[in-house]
């Protein structure tokens, strides 16, 4: 799998920032055509091992790290993706493979023997990490996302809020799975682009007194253990 790294910024926002940026971005950028009424609900199931390696590498600021998750949108089990996100000195890349609802449930239940013979390299890689590194489903992460697109530079800007944790719940496919607010979780803006960030977008997402920083929804959703 060829790695194509993208640049990424994250800012923590307040409620007023959200209202202002929503108007700014909507005036210049396209709405993601997959969003319903301009937004969608994201539910992810994150993986980690017994030593919380993914969590510790994030909190320790390790330059080269990776994390696995299974993601679905609007609680729709017809489209589910296994994803691996990798970071290398601030640049990010993502690999993705489709999963069926049945395959997803098998992974959650620990029935993983079939993964070795899957025709998707990412599924095989997760199998190896589960067998040899002890990776297991850890917690559900829920949040609302408002996505915007700008074609030049392949720019994607998202506004994320209402971050909720499943605590130790891993029942991804259960629409009734209980999640609770992940502490005092902030509102986030994420900006991702390829080779260049057009100046018009750079100006749009600039918020006074807001610095580019690092924030992990998974780490935030582990605050209770």
Per-residue model confidence as pLDDT tens digits over 32-45? 988 888 999 999 99
User: 212 falls in which pLDDT band (50, 70, 90)?
Assistant: low
Q: Say if 194 falls within a structural domain.
A: yes
Burial of residue 176, with CB atoms counted within 10 A of its CB: 0-12 exposed, 13-18 middle, 19 or more buried: exposed
Q: Say if 1 falls within a structural domain.
A: no
Whether 1 has a pLDDT exceeding 60, the answer reads no
Contacts with 175 (C-beta within 8 Å, 6 or more apart), sequence order? 75
Q: Say if 110 falls within a structural domain.
A: yes
Whether 66 has a pLDDT exceeding 70, the answer reads yes
Instruction: Write out the H or E segment, with its range, that includes residue 96.
Output: strand 91-99
**pTM (predicted TM-score):** 0.93
Q: CA–CA separation, 138 vs 168, rounded Å?
A: 6
Burial of residue 119, with CB atoms counted within 10 A of its CB: 0-12 exposed, 13-18 middle, 19 or more buried: exposed
Query: Contact, 180 vs 197, CB < 8 A?
Result: no
Q: Say if 225 falls within a structural domain.
A: no
What residues make up the domain containing 215? 7-220
Please give the mean pLDDT across all residues of the chain.
93
Query: Contact, 150 vs 198, CB < 8 A?
Result: yes
Q: 204 by DSSP, 3-state: which? A: helix
Radius of gyration of the chain, Cα coordinates, nearest whole angstrom? 18
User: 52 falls in which pLDDT band (50, 70, 90)?
Assistant: very high
User: 5 falls in which pLDDT band (50, 70, 90)?
Assistant: confident
Q: Say if 101 falls within a structural domain.
A: yes
Compute the residue count for the chain. Answer: 225
Q: Say if 114 falls within a structural domain.
A: yes
Residue 145, domain CATH: 3.20.100.30
pLDDT score of 36 = 87
pLDDT digits (tens, 9 = 90+) for 88-144: 887 889 999 999 999 999 999 999 999 999 999 999 999 999 999 999 999 999 999
Q: Say if 98 falls within a structural domain.
A: yes
Report the number of distinct structural domains present in the chain: 1
Whether 211 has a pLDDT exceeding 70, the answer reads no
Across the range 71-87, mean pLDDT stands at 96
Contacts with 99 (C-beta within 8 Å, 6 or more apart), sequence order? 70, 80, 81, 82, 107, 123
Q: Say if 142 falls within a structural domain.
A: yes
Q: CA–CA separation, 168 vs 171, rounded Å?
A: 9
Q: Which among 184, 163, 147, 171 is positioned nearest to 25, based on CA atoms?
A: 147
């Amino acid at each position: 799998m060829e790695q194509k790294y993208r640049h990424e910024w994250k800012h923590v926002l307040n409620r007023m920032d959200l209202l202002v940026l929503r108007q700014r971005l909507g005036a210049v950028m396209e709405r993601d055509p997959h969003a319903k009424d301009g937004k969608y609900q994201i539910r992810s199931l994150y993986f980690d091992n017994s030593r919380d390696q993914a969590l510790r590498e994030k909190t320790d600021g390790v330059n080269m790290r990776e994390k696995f998750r299974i993601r679905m949108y609007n609680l729709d089990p017809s489209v589910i993706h296994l994803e691996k996100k990798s970071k290398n000195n601030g640049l990010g890349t993502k690999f993705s493979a489709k999963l069926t609802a049945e395959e997803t449930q098998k992974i959650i239940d620990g029935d993983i023997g079939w993964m070795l013979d899957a025709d998707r390299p990412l599924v095989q890689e997760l199998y190896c990490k589960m067998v040899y590194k002890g990776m297991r489903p850890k917690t559900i992460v829920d949040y609302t996302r408002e996505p915007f697109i700008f074609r030049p530079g392949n720019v994607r800007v998202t506004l994320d809020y209402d971050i909720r944790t499943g605590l130790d719940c891993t029942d991804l496919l259960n629409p009734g799975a209980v999640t609770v607010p992940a502490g005092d979780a902030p509102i986030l803006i994420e900006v991702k682009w390829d080779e260049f960030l057009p100046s018009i977008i750079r100006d749009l997402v600039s918020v006074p007194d807001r610095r580019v920083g690092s924030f992990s929804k998974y780490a935030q959703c582990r605050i209770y253990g």
